[in-house]
Structure 1
Amino acid sequence: MRLRADISVADTDYGQVLLDERTGHYWQLNPTGVVVVRALLDGADEDAAVAALTSSYEVTEDQARQDVSVLVAGLRTAGLVTA
């Protein structure tokens, strides 16, 4: 997964912000979202992102898998990422 070329990323005290430079819209990622997005942007698949989440936070694998799926779907729906 990759962010579109016109998406800027900024770290915040509570996670990250993704800014769509074309529209001016932004999305806030909480710390768990940052773990998932960083893993995926580093080339991990969704299973590896689930593993990264469960190793970083006290969350069940089932809950982590659901969270990863929802986040990825949201990023795709918002048009922030490419394959």
Structure 2
Amino acid sequence: MHLHPDTALTDTPDGSVLLNKRTGRYWQVNRTGTHTLDRLLAGETADQIAADLAARYDIDAAQVQADITAMTESLLAAGLVEPS
């Protein structure tokens, strides 16, 4: 996955903000979401990230996977990211 060419990404103390330059809409992502997005943009799979986060925070890997899928689908639907 990669950012859409019309997406601006800015880090903030609480995570990051993505701007869709075509629509002017902003999206705020918390620190965990930013960490996940950075890893997805670097080419890691959702399964790899979910397994790591589940082990690190002792939480259910299936729930982490569902959260990553939901975030990814939202970013795709908003036109902020594109599949590679």
TM-score, with length taken from structure 2? 0.87
The aligned residue for residue 19 of structure 2 is 19
Residues 22, 70 of structure 1: CA spacing in aligned structure 2 closer, same or farther, 3 A cutoff? same
Distance 1:58 1:19, change over 3 A: farther
Aligned structure 1 segments of 4 or more residues deviating by more than 4 angstroms? none
The aligned residue for residue 50 of structure 1 is 50
Show the counterpart of 1:70.
70
CA RMSD of aligned residues (A): 1.5
**Cα offset for 1:9?**
0.6
Unpaired segments of 5 or more residues in structure 1?
none
Q: Which runs of 5+ in 2 are unaligned?
A: none
Contact 1:35 1:53 (8 Å CA) reproduced: no
- Aligned residue in 2 for 1:30: 30
Shift in CA distance, 54/48, structure 1 to aligned 2, threshold 3 Å? same
State the SS of the aligned residue for 1:22.
coil
Q: How many residues align?
A: 83
Per-residue deviation, 1:51: 2.8
How many percent of aligned residue pairs carry the same amino acid? 39
User: Given the superposition, is the C-alpha separation of residues 65 and 9 from structure 1 closer, same or farther in structure 2, using an over 3 Å criterion?
Assistant: same
